[in-house]
């Protein structure tokens, strides 16, 4: 045994088909892991670009800074794009629920908000008392926009934490520019207008003439500690710090107010780990299957080697050397195919994407943005190579151990395990080929299990990928700020409950959820307007009683059981949202599940604590204790029964105009109410997500294609290792038609078993992938369409993969079939 390399190489050459099948399996696994690594990096970049376009190119904003704080912040190292923003004032647009905020930006900060500062006509303001507004806002104000016109606004200025009444004033502006409509802002009910520099100095007293500063961190490691250090150095309170949660979640930054439900980085990582492991297991099973069959067929040769003095370790090294030689050939090819495929998919997808959605001027600029972190692609590539090599090695180990333990006497004598047959009852065979196929599967259970596992892994990957794409939607975190296709709001007068019945009479309305809303300050509580024993931690906190319908209740608390619903309707249970800590000298009220308190003559038990915000559209959220109760219980506690907020859902998005007619009728019948359509904001959000999803599905389809090739490889291997068996069956009289039917039944059995197990496994994995992102287990959302597609595709692939090799084998002579080596 002078050269294991030469012997291993000769064995590979003598088994050309086995060698080719193993190389294909390794190439496919390496290509898939490379594509996944490249695509994860690419899509993370796209998610970050999407988030940046939706909510600003900033990480954090510090509010209400004075001159020395601004200069100190600008002198800090590690900060990028430090821009100043001054809020001149705000005003509510009548009958819309929209809050218009006039802000003054410097040259840096205006670039931090590219999505809301695009000029449609005219120019951006440059001097004091100049203004630019979006076209839709001008229409809501009843203004026919003409550049140079004077616009008078009644504005209010206030501080974030202010016990005094807002400072009200009139301001006259000159319209210098009309901005492009940013419909994403209408989801939150807040739209910005841009004022020229010097406007705040000219209009505001010193108390309100403060500055907000946007910035990015050059390094996100230890992010929260760095922010806390900056805040401490500037003597800032927690309420003065605003995190750009949409962008930070997409980047995977760790910060104090992190929203786990929108953590794109965690979702991407979880998806990559699950899918990568499944792919490598599928490829590893193929490699193991082929090597094991190869060694079993050459068992006599290994026995001869043992008889002439070969040690077990030497045989072990032969098998390992073989797999290393195959990896040396296959892994570079697989890596090259993976990189080429990833780049091709990216180029194809970006050619279909509107660059403006990602704040790029053209496709080339978009590609540069997506691939801005080119060095980040090297790590996934190296990991792909290392993981493919490791899994190939692990897959070969059982075969190597089996070869090393071969007994020379047993191997050379050709003695194998005795075949034992269990007694069975006589029964009629209705389909001989199907019966024979079933016996073949049972006869070699090891081969059957390995084949099914190889197929099942590929099916599992395809089904799990359905959940993978849903983790990419950054726009969903912004669109969640609104509910339904239309909102109808009335802060004071309220809306009659008959309006809900009127809406349901419309054939195009799917459903309506509603909320009743009353807020009590602690002063009102002291004056006896309502009685409660809630122990408030902060004198500025309000008590808000919110009544919601059954559907809305299930959205706020998905775990709601029928018995709990009955208790909500009986006024025993409630859901609470706790207030935020505003002043460090006060400890915020902190109710917990199970706590009891009284409102009026009812004792309520806290069923759950929620982070969901329920407020009247366009009014924002007031800090305080939100007590969410059932609709009729609200009526008993407050003595009111009118609705303040209605969310209308359409059955068909193409018939929104008909729904809007019904919504307008409700507003006409209820003076003081207003409505807002989310059609345009939904379109903008969907367009934003569609770009990322296009790229994601390009990668998904490629990986699915590789999975199909893996199924073909497995089935092809299974048949080609049974050439001798097929020759014997033909020799004893089985015709080609029966031969085809027998193997087609085997392929169908393989496909059906793999489809059932793989679909169930893919469903479970998709549940846990989503749970990793949302921290909620949802077993009700069964991916029926992906399961059906994967099942049909797997069975069809098995049947096709069965027919192809059989066509070649039947052309062989019976003698050649029996004597063939492979």
Of the given ranges (231-235, 422-426, 555-559, 629-633), which has the lowest mean pLDDT? 422-426
Q: Phi/psi at 676 (nearest 5 deg)?
A: -140, 130
Cβ atoms 433, 742 nearer than 8 A: yes
Give the Cα separation of 822 and 812 in Å (integer).
13
- Alpha helix stretches (DSSP H) within 353-406: 363-370, 378-404
727's tokens? 């020759």
Mean pLDDT within 254-273: 57
pLDDT above 90 (res 375): no
pLDDT, residue 821, reads 47
Band of residue 260 on the pLDDT scale cut at 50, 70, 90: very low
Predicted pLDDT at 822: 45
Q: Please state, in angstroms and rounded to a whole number, the distance separating the CA atoms of residues 652 and 404.
A: 67
pLDDT > 90: what percent of the chain? 17
**At 321, which helix (H) or strand (E)?**
helix 312-352
pLDDT category, 79, cuts 50, 70, 90?
very high
pLDDT tier for residue 475 given thresholds of 50, 70 and 90: very low
Distance CA 196, CA 127 (A): 5
Judged against a pLDDT cut of 90, whether residue 700 lies above it is answered with no
- What does the block give as tokens for 22? 């193993």
pTM of the model: 0.56
Mean of the per-residue pLDDT values of the chain: 76
Determine the average pLDDT of the residues in 638-654: 87
355: left (phi over 0), alpha (psi -120 to 50) or beta: alpha
Between 397 and 516, the higher pLDDT residue: 516
pLDDT (0 to 100) of residue 692: 58
Interval 431-446 mean pLDDT: 78
pLDDT the model gives residue 282: 62
Cα–Cα distance for residue pair 316/305, rounded to 1 Å: 12
What's 695's DSSP letter?
Answer: H
What pLDDT score was predicted for residue 250?
A: 75
Q: For residue 375, what is the DSSP state?
A: G
Q: Give the model's pLDDT for residue 478.
A: 47
Coil vs helix vs strand at 251: helix
CA-CA distance, 637 to 705, in Å (whole number)?
Answer: 61
In tens, the pLDDT along 1-11 reads: 456 567 667 77
CA atoms of 107 and 444, how far apart (whole Å): 74
φ, ψ dihedrals at 85, nearest 5°: -130, 130
Q: pLDDT at position 780, please?
A: 66
Number of Cβ within a 10 Å radius of residue 421: 5
- In the predicted model, is pLDDT for residue 105 greater than 80? yes
Q: What's residue 523's pLDDT?
A: 87
**Among 77, 137, 73, 85, CA closest to 111:** 85
Q: How far apart are CA 724 and CA 39, in angstroms?
A: 44
Beta carbons within 8 Å of 526's beta carbon, 6+ residues apart: none
Q: How confident is the model at residue 637 (pLDDT cuts 50, 70, 90)?
A: very high
- Angle between the 363-370 and 312-352 helix axes, to the nearest 10 degrees? 140
Coil, strand or helix at 519: strand
Phi and psi angles of residue 770, each rounded to the nearest 5 degrees, phi first:
-65, -35
Distance between CA atoms of 769 and 764, rounded to whole angstroms? 9
What average pLDDT does this structure show over 480-488?
A: 70
Contact call for residues 148 and 158 (beta carbons, < 8 A): no
What pLDDT sits at residue 48?
Answer: 72
The pLDDT tens digits for 449-466 are: 767 776 676 677 667 666
> What per-residue confidence (pLDDT) applies to 299?
66
> In terms of pLDDT, which residue wins out, 749 or 122?
122
**What span, in angstroms and rounded, lies between the C-alpha atoms of 448 and 446?**
5
Structure-block tokens of residue 5: 């390399």
Only one residue has tokens 């003559």, namely: 601
105 vs 761: CA distance, rounded Å: 53
Which one-letter DSSP state was computed for residue 581? P
Query: pLDDT-based confidence at 808, cuts 50/70/90?
Result: low
| Higher-scoring residue by pLDDT: 351, 344 | 344
pLDDT digits (tens, 9 = 90+) for 556-580: 888 889 999 999 999 999 999 988 7
Q: Which pLDDT score is estimated for 322? A: 78
Check pLDDT > 60 for residue 376: no
Strand partners, 104: 86, 195
Q: Which of residues 264 and 360 earns the better pLDDT score?
A: 360
What pLDDT was estimated at residue 329?
87
What is the tens place of the pLDDT at every residue in 215-229?
A: 999 888 889 999 999
pLDDT category, 195, cuts 50, 70, 90?
Answer: very high
Question: Among 233-237, 403-407, 548-552, 581-585, which is the least confidently predicted range?
Answer: 581-585
Task: In whole angstroms, give the CA distance from residue 806 to residue 822.
Answer: 14
- What's the mean pLDDT in 186-194? 75
Q: Which residue has the higher pLDDT, 212 or 442?
A: 212
Whole-number pLDDT of residue 728: 80
Residues counted in the chain: 822
More confident position, 508 or 259 = 508
- Residue 535: predicted pLDDT: 84
> How large is the average pLDDT for residues 137-150?
84
328, pLDDT greater than 80: yes
pLDDT per position as a tens digit, 29-55: 777 777 766 666 666 666 676 677 767
How many other CB atoms are there within 10 angstroms of residue 33's CB atom? 29
Q: What is residue 325's predicted lDDT score, i.e. its pLDDT?
A: 83
Q: Is the pLDDT of residue 611 over 90?
A: no
Q: Which residues touch 667 (CB under 8 Å, ≥6 apart)?
A: 488, 673, 674, 675
Tell me if 544 sits within 8 A of 530, measured CB to CB.
no
Quick one: pLDDT band at residue 583, thresholds 50, 70, 90?
very low
284 falls in which pLDDT band (50, 70, 90)?
low
pLDDT given for residue 166 in this prediction: 85
Half-sphere exposure of 219 (CA within 13 A, CB side): 6
Q: Is 235 exposed, middle or buried (0-12, 13-18, 19+ CB in 10 A)?
A: exposed
How many beta carbons lie within 10 A of that of residue 74, not counting itself? 12
Res 648 pLDDT > 80: yes
How much is the average pLDDT of 539-544? 85
pLDDT for 629: 95
Kindly list the distances between the CA atom of residue 767 and the CA atoms of 609, 689, 799, in Å, as whole numbers in the listed order.
24, 22, 30
Kindly tell me if the per-residue pLDDT of 710 is higher than 90. Answer: no
pLDDT score recorded for residue 818: 64
Round to whole Å and give the CA distance between 601 and 639: 13
* Partners of residue 105 on adjacent β-strands: 85
Band of pLDDT at residue 386, cut at 50, 70 and 90: confident
What are the φ and ψ backbone dihedral angles of 324, each rounded to 5 degrees? Answer: -65, -40
pLDDT at 706: 63
Comparing C-alpha atoms, which of 273, 320, 290 is closest to residue 24? 290
Q: Which of 371, 391, 377 is nearest to 326 (CA)?
A: 391
pLDDT at position 711, please?
65
**Out of 486-495, 501-510, 528-537, least confident range:** 486-495
CA distance 401 to 370: 47
Q: Check: CB of residue 647 under 8 Å from CB of residue 513.
A: yes
- Mean pLDDT of all residues in 645-667: 86
Q: How confident is the model at residue 374 (pLDDT cuts 50, 70, 90)?
A: very low
Dist CA 124 CA 195 (whole Å): 8
Stronger pLDDT, 622 or 418, i.e. the higher one: 622
| Euclidean distance between CA atoms 346 and 45, whole angstroms | 12
Angle, helix 264-297 to helix 312-352, in steps of 10 degrees: 140
pLDDT at residue number 414: 53
């Amino acid at each position: 045994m002078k050269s294991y390399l030469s012997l291993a190489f000769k064995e590979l050459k003598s088994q050309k088909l086995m060698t080719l099948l193993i190389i294909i399996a390794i190439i496919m696994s390496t290509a898939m892991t490379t594509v996944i690594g490249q695509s994860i990096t690419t899509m993370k970049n796209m998610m970050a670009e999407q988030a940046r376009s939706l909510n600003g190119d900033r990480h954090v904003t510090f509010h209400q800074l004075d001159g020395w704080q601004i200069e100190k912040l600008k002198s800090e190292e590690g900060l990028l794009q430090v821009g100043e923003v001054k809020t001149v004032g705000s005003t509510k647009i009548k009958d819309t629920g929209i809050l218009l905020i006039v802000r003054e930006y410097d040259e840096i900060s205006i670039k931090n908000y590219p999505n809301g500062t695009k000029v449609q006509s005219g120019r951006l303001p440059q001097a004091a008392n100049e203004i630019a507004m979006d076209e839709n806002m001008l229409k809501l104000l009843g203004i026919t926009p003409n550049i140079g016109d004077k616009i008078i606004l009644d504005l209010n200025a206030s501080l974030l934490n202010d016990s005094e009444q807002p400072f009200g004033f009139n301001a006259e502006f000159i319209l210098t520019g009309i901005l492009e409509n940013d419909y994403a802002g209408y989801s939150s009910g807040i739209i910005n207008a841009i004022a020229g520099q010097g406007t705040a100095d000219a209009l505001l007293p010193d108390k309100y003439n403060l500055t907000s500063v946007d910035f990015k961190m050059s390094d996100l490691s230890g992010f929260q500690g760095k922010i806390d250090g900056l805040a401490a150095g500037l003597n800032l309170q927690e309420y003065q710090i605003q995190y750009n949660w949409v962008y930070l979640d997409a980047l995977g930054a760790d910060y104090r107010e992190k929203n786990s439900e929108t953590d794109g980085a965690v979702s991407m990582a979880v998806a990559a780990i699950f899918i990568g492991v499944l792919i490598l297991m599928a490829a590893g099973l193929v490699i193991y299957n082929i090597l094991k069959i190869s060694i079993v067929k050459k068992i006599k040769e290994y026995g001869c080697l043992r008889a002439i003095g070969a040690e077990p370790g030497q045989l072990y090294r032969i098998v390992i050397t073989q797999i290393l030689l195959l990896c040396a050939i296959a892994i570079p090819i697989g890596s090259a195919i993976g990189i080429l495929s990833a780049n091709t998919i990216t180029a194809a997808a970006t050619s279909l994407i509107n660059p403006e959605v990602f704040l790029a001027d053209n496709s080339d600029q978009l590609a540069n943005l997506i691939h801005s972190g080119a060095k980040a692609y090297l790590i996934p590539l190296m990991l792909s190579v290392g993981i493919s090599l490791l899994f190939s090695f692990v897959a070969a180990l059982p075969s190597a151990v089996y070869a090393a333990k071969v007994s020379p006497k047993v191997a050379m004598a050709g003695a194998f395990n005795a075949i034992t047959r269990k007694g069975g009852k006589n029964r009629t065979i209705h389909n001989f080929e199907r019966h024979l196929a079933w016996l073949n599967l049972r006869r070699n259970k090891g081969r059957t299990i390995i084949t099914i596992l190889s197929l099942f892994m590929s099916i599992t990957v395809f089904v799990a990928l359905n959940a993978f794409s849903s983790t990419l939607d950054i726009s969903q975190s912004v669109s969640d700020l609104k509910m339904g296709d239309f909102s109808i709001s009335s802060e004071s007068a309220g809306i009659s409950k008959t309006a809900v019945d009127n809406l349901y009479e419309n054939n195009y309305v799917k459903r309506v959820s509603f909320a009743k809303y009353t807020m009590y300050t602690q002063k009102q509580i002291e004056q006896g307007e309502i009685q409660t024993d809630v122990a408030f931690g902060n004198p500025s906190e309000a008590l808000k009683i919110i009544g919601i319908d059954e559907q809305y209740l299930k959205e706020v608390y998905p775990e709601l059981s029928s018995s709990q619903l009955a208790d909500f309707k009986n006024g025993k249970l409630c859901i609470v949202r706790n207030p935020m800590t505003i002043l460090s000298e006060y400890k915020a009220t902190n109710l917990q599940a199970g706590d009891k308190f009284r409102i009026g003559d009812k004792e309520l038990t806290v069923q759950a604590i929620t982070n969901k915000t329920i407020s009247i559209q366009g009014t924002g959220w007031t800090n305080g204790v939100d007590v969410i109760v059932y609709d009729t219980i609200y009526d008993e506690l407050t003595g009111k029964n009118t609705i303040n907020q209605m969310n209308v859902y359409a059955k068909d998005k193409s018939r929104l105009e008909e729904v809007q007619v019904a919504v307008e009728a409700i507003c006409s019948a209820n003076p003081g109410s207003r409505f807002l359509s989310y059609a345009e904001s939904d379109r903008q959000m969907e367009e934003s997500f569609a770009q990322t999803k296009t790229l994601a599905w390009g990668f998904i389809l490629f990986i699915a294609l590789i999975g199909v090739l893996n199924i073909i490889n497995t089935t092809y291997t299974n048949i080609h290792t049974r050439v001798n068996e097929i020759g014997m069956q033909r020799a004893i009289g089985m015709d080609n038609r029966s031969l085809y039917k027998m193997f087609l039944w085997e392929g169908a059995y393989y496909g059906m078993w793999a489809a059932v197990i793989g679909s169930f496994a893919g469903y479970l994995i998709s549940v846990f992938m989503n749970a990793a992102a949302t921290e909620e287990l949802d077993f009700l959302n069964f991916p029926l369409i992906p399961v059906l597609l994967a099942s049909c595709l797997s069975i069809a692939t098995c049947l096709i993969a069965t027919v192809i090799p059989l066509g070649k084998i039947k052309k062989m002579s019976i003698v050649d079939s029996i004597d063939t080596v492979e």
